[in-house]
Amino acid sequence: MLVEPTAAQADVTAANLLRTMVCEAVSERGVCHLALAGGTTPRALYQDLARQAAQGDVPWHRTEVFFGDEHDVPQDHVDSIYNMVQRTLLDHVPIPPNRVHPMPGDAADPVSAAAEYEVTIRRIVPVEDGTIPRFDLILLGMGGDGHTASLFPGTDALRERKKLVTACLVPRLGRNRMTLTFPLLNAARNLIMLITGEDKAPAVSALLSDDPEARRKIPAAQIKPVSGKLYIVLDVAAAKLIEPKQA
């Protein structure tokens, strides 16, 4: 766990971790398989990566980009995660278009579309031990309710153990979401969870609690890499309720 004084510094720390991991993956395996997050928190991170792209020290052209989740809107919609990532990052780094794999969040049949996205992941992302493809890096955030990707409290997606990608209704939003599931997330080599803002502090405290009941209410607490590493990057505001023993 890394705690930075401000949200801006947390963004920079997470961006530096991401850059390092992309470089290491390409150096070791010739390609980096990366899944990116939506939401408001990673925007500044993506903008930092875009500003640094001119240095040419990150082999973006050898990166396969996927997405952790998506809203049920067209790709050019203001609420589209793909649209946000494209505008803040992808338009500014030299990733070939055929290496960017948006989720079809607005598909007429979201269940079939989620299954097709899983097929795409299985075709491109290599499997090592077992049967689950292993991303080099997955970037995640966490909402004030403890959700990560589009794995919201009380939804069927939390209990999915066979499908690697699923589409389900989020009742409190009244909308469908498509999301990677815990089996795929937890198979990754590296996960970065970037969490900033005082509104996240209660959920962060529960996430890091030793109390099983507190953790049970937080979907993000199910992020437990099988053989990879989880990096939690916080700002002081998000970390303000962490007990000393948790830190």
Q: Report the CATH number at residue 8.
A: 3.40.50.1360
Q: How far apart are CA 156 and CA 153, in angstroms?
A: 9
- Written as six digits, the tokens of 158 are 């939390």
pLDDT of residue 42: 92
Alpha helix segments (H runs only) across 148-224: 182-185, 201-207, 212-216
Q: Is residue 243 part of a domain?
A: no
Q: Is residue 247 part of a domain?
A: no
Range(s) of the domain holding residue 187? 2-229
Q: Is residue 245 part of a domain?
A: no
pLDDT of residue 244: 65
pLDDT of residue 245: 57
pLDDT of residue 129: 79
Alpha helix segments (H runs only) across the chain: 7-29, 43-52, 81-88, 110-124, 182-185, 201-207, 212-216
pLDDT of residue 14: 97
pLDDT of residue 40: 86
For the chain, list residues with pLDDT below 50: none
Q: Is residue 234 part of a domain?
A: no
- Written as six digits, the tokens of 119 are 């097929």
pLDDT of residue 54: 77
Q: How many domains does the chain have?
A: 1
Q: Is residue 246 part of a domain?
A: no
pLDDT of residue 176: 87
Report yes or no: 35 and 116 within 8 Å, Cβ to Cβ: no
Q: Is residue 124 part of a domain?
A: yes
Q: Which of 118, 121, 92, 105 is nearest to 33 (CA)?
A: 121
Q: Is residue 244 part of a domain?
A: no
Q: Is residue 239 part of a domain?
A: no
